Each structure stands twice: as structure tokens, then as C-alpha cells.
Amino acid sequence: MLSLDQDMTDHLHYSSVFTLSEEDYPRVKEILTKALSEALKAITSSPEENGAAICLDLFKL
């Protein structure tokens, strides 16, 4: 509940349902995989000052 009282300007939230081609699905997956890999590099070398969460799902419907 404390999260509701916090300044949300530094938070990032995104949810979407979308359509795309069979050809582009692997490309989008690779883009997200690379971004997550880069984030994990920063996370593992970062001092433990703040707690945070990443939730990422990509799947075909």
C-alpha cells in the first residue's frame, strides 16, 4: 500500500495486446531479449539501494 503513496514519475508501466506478422515475432522477441540482457547487466553490478521489479511476458495468442 505504500507504493500508492509514492511519486510515480519514475515508474514505467506498459501493457499491450497487438498483432504482428510471423516474420516480425522473432525480431520483437530478440529486441526484448537484448534489452532485458542489458538491464540485467546493469542490475547485477548495481549497489543494493532500492528494490524494483520487472515483469515481462511475450507470447502468441
pLDDT tens digits along 4-29 = 666 678 889 999 999 999 999 999 99
N residues, the chain: 61
**pLDDT at position 2:** 63
**Sign of the dihedral defined by the CA atoms of residues 49, 32, 35, 40, in that order:** positive
Question: What proportion of the chain, given as a percentage, has pLDDT over 70?
Answer: 89
